[in-house]
A and B are shown apart, each in its own frame.
Chain A
């Protein structure tokens, strides 16, 4: 079935450091890929998405590129802030399939220190 694997955390960084969170996926067909973020005490919210190969999703300084050849969708940010401290989830959804649910990775906890 469809699944995503993301790097285990926790990840601790200093402010202005570069952040990368690895995500790889397994799916038949052509899934859409997503990054969700969960800030402390809140529900998940969509951070960015990409619906086809070579698409780049971006939001709030975060970027991720849909790489079909490596089945990856790594999240990057060039200069993190304390406010980026959160749990980040990679997810996939196969458009048009009977598998309606969104499959999430295990989540990566990121802590940014001032």
Chain B
């Protein structure tokens, strides 16, 4: 158990819909990362927050947004969903910014029909 909690574990929805994925980092970790894992594109970095502020952005679509709240949990919002958004979305956390030691949750599997 990494200490990172993601909900929901599985989600099935239709094209055009909007979903919210939630992540609770390990106790004491200030940094939260979101990654998308798909069969054709591997593990893609989406976005990183540190203590409530956005610190790095990767290949995140404009239809996606995220935030980190004062209690340090984070949410990833995916809107106008397309079939190609079907993937496993991982949240990870770390104590500080410049570490490569990330602790990953078990992921949220999104299926868009």
Contact = CB atoms under 8 A, between A and B. Distances in A.
Contacts of A106: 42
A103 to B, nearest CB: 7
Contact of A107 (B43, B103, B107): B43
B104 A43 contact: yes
B98 A101 contact: no
Contacts of A107: 42-43
Contact of B2 (A34, A45, A105): A45
Contacts of A96: 98
B73 to A, nearest CB: 17
B56 interface: yes
Q: How large is the interface on A (under 10, 10 to 19, 20 to 34, 35 or more residues)?
A: 20 to 34
Interface in A40-67: 41-46, 49
Nearest to B55: A100
B91 to A, nearest CB: 9
Interface in A73-103: 89, 91-93, 95-97, 99-103
Interface in B51-76: 55-56, 58
16 contacts: A34-B101, A43-B92, A44-B43, A44-B104, A46-B101, A46-B102, A46-B103, A93-B100, A99-B56, A100-B97, A101-B56, A102-B33, A102-B100, A102-B102, A105-B42, A107-B42
10 closest A-B pairs by CB: A43-B104, A93-B100, A100-B56, A44-B104, A106-B42, A104-B43, A101-B45, A34-B100, A43-B106, A101-B56
